Amino acid sequence: MNKQPFYFTWSHQSISAPFPVESAEHDEFVLADGQRVYDFISTSFQTNFGHSNSIIRKRLRSQLDHMPIASPKATFALKSAVSEQLIDRLGLPGGKIFYTVSGSESVENALKMARQSSGRTMILARQKSYHGASLGALSVTGDWRNASHFTVDNHTVRIPEPADDPDLSQTRQIVLDTGPEKIAAVILEPVSGTNGVVVPSQRWFDQIQALCKEFQLLLIVDEVLCGFGRTGPDFAFQEFGLQPDFVCMSKGISGGYIPFGAVWTGPRVVDFYDRAIMACGLTSYAHPLGLAALDGVLEQLSDRSFQKNKTDLEAVFERAMKDFASLKPVSHVRYRGLLAAIDIVDRGAPSWEQCFENGLHLHSKNNTLILAPPLISQPARLVAALDRLKSLFSETSIATG
């Protein structure tokens, strides 16, 4: 039984406390008994810049002393400067940022803005995807704020996974059957996260973009997990040359130091809100501490030695993933940048507990292990963690050198 005065998320409450953590440093947790555990999944994919990042911590401390709280409608230098820098980093034409406090709320607000600005209600979403935990709180809201957005029920249409519809012929038929004039947007993770690190082909992305153009569907890319360097480039959509109308961000946006999120909206949406009331908002909109953390994250991303180290880590990781793919208990390995899924044949996988007892904190579900090491880890430490993981499989010796 859970004897704690709080719930455990996404789990049966009868689990014992999975890890009684005492503190965290750099790329590892320190447990109550002093054991050190490598954070192989960047906590929940947010600790891209580690647990002791001096730049982000410094920015937060000074913002706390200077102005820790601001009205959602306030203008101040940090808000303007950081928004401009983020838009530059996205490399998309112009646009504006809508701030949130989590990934779910970034997605939620992108959906609301897509519906409101297009006047259409349906959303196309992939069969295997995760976009957040909020259940469309607005569908139960009973005042003027609901009217622009319709309810969520029955407004999602599933499209096949890229491998099941490589030329998008089924997806196109789904659009035609649904009625393109009813579809507001397509939402997708460029590289899926906990659903197995699926990397669609360039052809699939090109055709998605073409479909959006043909039927004037808005494109929402969910970069909550991939954004801020996880899959290689700053944002995964950049690798595939996508031209989205919305980019949903969270997790790495503050490195996990403070709950924060953002949605970039493109010129089409900006034009709409130049003429219509923005029927979206949050009490902690553009929270100064979130902005301060983002400022630190952007500085960290611009740092050459950070980028060089990240490239070195990616090379180590790629070599190791190729090696893991040749192990007997492994059926498939998919990876991009510092994100990987390792599928394991029946019962060949080390359990989550086994990994944890051996000093590795990772994601393990349905015979798939997911790895996402902090981008500030050192190559030698990553090699050691990969070696330890490999030793938990039946075969040994990993060529990561």
Compare residues 53 and 104 and give the one whose CB is closer to ligand PLP.
Answer: 104
Which helix (H) or strand (E) covers residue 338, if one does? none
Q: What CA–CA distance (Å, rounded) separates 291 from 150?
A: 31
> In whole angstroms, what is the distance from residue 263 CA to residue 18 CA?
33
Q: Which two tokens stand for residue 134?
A: 């909020």
Interacting residues with ligand PLP (CB under 6 A): 102-104, 107, 130-133, 189, 193, 222, 224-225, 250
Q: How far is the CB of 303 from ligand PLP (least distance, A)?
A: 25
With respect to ligand PLP, which residue has the nearer C-beta, 273 or 352? Answer: 352
Which residues lie below 8 Å from residue 318, measured CB to CB, with a gap of 6+?
335
Nearer to ligand PLP by Cβ, of 28 and 189: the residue is 189
Minimum Å gap between C-beta 192 and ligand PLP is 8
User: Rounded CA gap, 151 and 213, in Å?
Assistant: 26
CA distance 234 to 242: 14
Which structure tokens are listed for 311?
Answer: 């490239």
- Please report how close the Cβ of residue 107 comes to ligand PLP at its closest, in angstroms: 5
**370 or 382, CB closer to ligand PLP?**
370
Least Cβ distance, residue 112 to ligand PLP (angstroms): 15
Quote the least distance from Cβ 4 to ligand PLP, whole Å.
20
Length of the chain: 401
Which of 193, 302, 184 has the alpha carbon at shortest distance from 246? 184
Structural Rg of the chain based on CA atoms: 21
Q: Which residue is nearest to ligand PLP (CB)?
A: 103
Helix (H) or strand (E) holding 26: none
Compare residues 106 and 400 and give the one whose CB is closer to ligand PLP. Answer: 106
Minimum distance from residue 262 beta carbon to ligand PLP (Å): 12
Specify the residue, 193 or 232, whose C-beta has the smaller distance to ligand PLP: 193
User: Residue 310's Cα: distance from chain center in Å?
Assistant: 18
Is 245 within 8 Å of 92 (Cβ atoms)?
no
Give the nearer residue to ligand PLP in terms of CB position, either 185 or 330: 185
Contacts of 309 (CB under 8 A, 6+ apart): 375, 376, 378, 379
CB of 164 to ligand PLP, least distance (A): 20
**Residue 125 or residue 383: which is nearer to ligand PLP going by CB?**
125
Residue 8 vs residues 1, 213, 354, 371: alpha-carbon distances, Å: 11, 43, 20, 22
Smallest distance, Å, CB 392 to ligand PLP?
25
